[in-house]
Amino acid sequence: MNALELKDKRILVTGGTGFLGRQVVNQLYKAGANPEKITLPRSRDCDLRLMENCQRAVDQQDIVIHLAAHVGGIGLNREKPAELFYDNLMMGTQLIHAAYQAGVEKFVCVGTICAYPKFTPVPFKEDDLWNGYPEETNAPYGIAKKALLVQLQAYRQQYGFNGIYLLPVNLYGPEDNFDPRSSHVIPALIRKVYEAQIKGEKQIPVWGDGSPTREFLYSEDAARGIVMGTQYYNDPEPVNLGTGYEISIRDLISLICELMGYEGEIVWETDKPNGQPRRCLDTERAKQAFGFAAQVDFKQGLKNTIEWWRQNAA
């Protein structure tokens, strides 16, 4: 496989100062990119929902890695479905169009696992992406991101524009978002356990009934996969990035309690939504196409995340 040489490339990373973005930037450095040629726009100075900002951002760039997203857990998905649809669609679709117009050499779009249909045979294969409607709470976000795959494939077909689409599974790791209003399941649970320990509470409420399964990818692994895709993958088909390891929410909270030394009781709030029943990816295409396989063991990744939170909780 011929690698795309990064050392002389001007690279725009949207969302590059975020949780995944910082890891992607580190992996770009490791792959030989020149730190002085990497641009990281901040949302407060560069609102990508506006076309002129997208045009300004992609000007003179060789590669665009689009990570920026308005995203959160199940709570945010229920509270702000319209914003999640509009913001993600407008950012992505205008950025892709601006990048094509500006003659950008390669566009790397990071999609979402929420794009998969609610009932997809497990493990999820990329070819199943269109076989049904996404889980309802995730659908506005998932469909907005999935539209970008269609756009990239259309621009490749009509204009020869090289855009690739990667689908990382649920991410976790140090520096994750621990805000209870918008966090995903792992940081949300770690924070719950931590606060129960501090307050001496003997019970923790957790949404749903614990039966759904999820797969989690350590942020550093995800970033490595994204940079490998940037260097080695040039095909129109979407590619899953994951571990292939599936764990139920019930087992996840048990493991977090064990690692944090919490012995209280879990109270399942069965009136709250479970979300998608199962999530686990088929990771064969990434292995075959550009040699990506996750490296960080789940338990170790959780330990690192808990450790980071304990040090930074204040």
145 annotated to bind ligand: yes
19 annotated to bind ligand: yes
18 annotated to bind ligand: yes
End-to-end CA distance of the chain: 46
β-pairing, 106-110 vs 63-66, is: parallel
20 annotated to bind ligand: yes
261 annotated to bind ligand: no
206 annotated to bind ligand: no
171 annotated to bind ligand: yes
In whole angstroms, what is the distance from residue 74 CA to residue 77 CA?
5
CA 211 from chain centre, in angstroms, equals 23
169 annotated to bind ligand: yes
DSSP 137: G
In whole angstroms, what is the distance from residue 109 CA to residue 76 CA?
22
Enter the tokens of residue 247.
């764990």
**Contact yes or no for 232/290 (Cβ under 8 A):** yes
15 annotated to bind ligand: yes
The dihedral sign for the CA sequence 45, 50, 51, 52: negative
Cα dihedral 6, 22, 171, 88 in deg (nearest 10): -80
User: Is 233 a known active-site residue?
Assistant: no
214 annotated to bind ligand: yes
264 annotated to bind ligand: no
From the candidates 141, 155, 172, 218, which is the catalytic residue?
141
Question: Which residues are documented as binding site for NADP(+)?
Answer: 15-21, 145, 168-171, 184
Question: Which residues are documented as binding site for substrate?
Answer: 192, 207, 214
- Catalytic residues, by residue number, are 141
Question: Which residues are documented as binding site?
Answer: 15-21, 145, 168-171, 184, 192, 207, 214
